[in-house]
Structure 1
C-alpha cells in the first residue's frame, strides 16, 4: 500500500483516468466496427467525420499512438471512398 498522501492521490486519479481512457477507446473501437459494416456511402461519410474526430482525440491524449490513429483514418477513408 502507498505510504505518502500524494501517492494515494496519484493512485486514485490514475484509476479514474484509466477508466475514462478505456471507455473512450472502447467506444471508438465500436464506432470503427460500425463504420466498417456500413454499405451506404452517405451515412458512412457522416460517421467517418465523427470517428476521425474520436481517433484524433485518443491520439492527442496518448491513449493510442498518433500513427495508429493516422493509419486507421487512412484505411477508413479508403473504405468509405470505395463504397458506391
Structure 2
C-alpha cells in the first residue's frame, strides 16, 4: 500500500482498523457508543532518531494508546500519525 506521505524522525503513519459494529453476542453497537480504535496497520514510518532507528515497519499491526497521535486525511483516507514511543506493541 503506497501513501503520498513520508513521516519524519520517529513518527509513524497508521491506518486504524475499523471499530467493532456488533458484540460477540450479536448486539449492534451504535456509532455514538463505539470506542476509538486502538490498533491499526503501519502504512509509513520515519527513519527514527539519530541514535534510535525506527523498530516498526510498514505492514506491522500495532497497538497504540487510546489518546495517541493526531488524526489526518491523506488521499481521502483517515490515518493517525503517532510517535513510535506511543506504540505499545506489535500484534502477531
Q: Normalization by structure 1: what TM-score?
A: 0.26
Q: Which has the larger radius of gyration?
A: 1
Q: Select the structure that is richer in strand.
A: 2
